[in-house]
Amino acid sequence: MAIEKRPFGRTGHLSSAIIFGAAALGKVDQATADRTLDLLLEHGVNHIDTAPGYGESELRIGPWMDRHRDDFFLATKTRDRGYAEARDSIQRSLERLRVDQVDLLQLHALIHPDEWDVAMGEDGALRAAVEARDAGLVRFIGVTGHGWNVAAMHRRSLERFDFDSVLMPYNWVTAHHATYADDFEKTLEMCRARDVAVQTIKSLARGPWAAGVSKRRTTWYEPLEAEEDIRTAVHYVLARPGIFLNSVGDVGLLPSVLRAAAERIELPDDAAMAAHSERTGLASIFGI
């Protein structure tokens, strides 16, 4: 089966339910990146999410765009908060990606109130994003983040500006967090009412890396790795109508994610998820 396509908010684009999280390209060579491209094309993934902070990711994607620009909805980000810095960041991303325009420019990791005040201010990054949109350098504007306050911060952002997309964590652990679960649902409801695209991350997070353990993956958290565990986690997220799953930041795990998404998606029941959680030791990656 092909991976389902879903409307990406109000953009008019039907994006694959799996968005390629291109942080996975941050530390790979071009040959490895090109093999990843072949895998994306094989499974019909048509949406890429990258950022300047993802190592060499934008540079690895650039050669793809020379041949496949029309095959992908292309998203990048800026972590800068001031106007001038964000303006320059957008231009560098266009150059690194070898494109004249990106489909989505996102304010990256906007979760700290003091940074929010700067980015949303008169001389902030949002102004640079809007100017870039008006100039045809970007088509849509989004906001991203992770941490226990991100869903609440996204609602604050949406009250200030009509963003086209948001990105925030969602998995079994976050869905049962004392405060985040409610915040996520409120933000999701707001986004649905406004036709704002909702992207999710950390679907495969098992927990933080144990102290002293050799990190065998390029993710900053310890991921699920067994095929069946990945399938369970992917289905848990994609069974929610309309939301997207940004794939894990390790190219070695990508095939399992794509295989799981290509199957018929069925929501695991609570008993199955509780057993899955206990067996795999799912834990918060953001602290308590």
Of the candidates 283, 233, 281, 221, the residue with the CA atom closest to the CA atom of residue 259: 233
* Active-site residue flag, 54: yes
pLDDT of residue 212: 80
Digit-by-digit pLDDT tens for the chain (288 residues) are: 789 999 999 999 999 999 999 999 999 999 999 999 999 999 999 999 999 999 999 999 999 999 999 999 999 999 999 999 999 999 999 999 999 999 999 999 999 999 999 999 999 999 999 999 999 999 999 999 999 999 999 999 999 999 999 999 999 999 999 999 999 999 999 999 999 999 999 999 999 998 888 899 999 999 999 999 999 999 999 999 999 999 999 999 999 999 999 999 999 999 999 999 999 999 999 987
How many whole angstroms separate alpha carbon 7 and alpha carbon 148?
Answer: 27
Q: Are 201 and 244 in contact (CB under 8 A)?
A: no
How many whole angstroms separate alpha carbon 12 and alpha carbon 79?
Answer: 26
In this structure, the chain runs to a length of 288
Enumerate the β-bridge partners of residue 26: none
Sign for the pseudo-dihedral over CA of 81, 134, 199, 201: negative
Selected catalytic residue, list 54, 180, 221, 236: 54
Scan for tokens 């990054």, then name that residue: 125
Enumerate the β-bridge partners of residue 138: 102
DSSP code per residue over 179-233:
THHHHHHHHHHHHHHHT-EEEEE-TTEEEPPPTT----SSSSSEEP-SHHHHHHH
Of the candidates 21, 26, 19, 27, the residue with the CA atom closest to the CA atom of residue 3: 19
pLDDT of residue 211: 84
pLDDT of residue 22: 98
pLDDT of residue 86: 98
User: CB neighbours (10 Å) of residue 12?
Assistant: 9
pLDDT of residue 5: 98
Taking the domains of the chain in order of start, what are their residue ranges? 5-280
How many whole angstroms separate alpha carbon 38 and alpha carbon 22?
Answer: 14
pLDDT of residue 287: 83
pLDDT of residue 210: 87
- CATH value of 5-280 in 3.40.50.10470, 3.40.50.2000, 3.20.20.100, 1.20.120.790: 3.20.20.100
Collapsed DSSP state (helix, strand, coil) of residue 107: strand
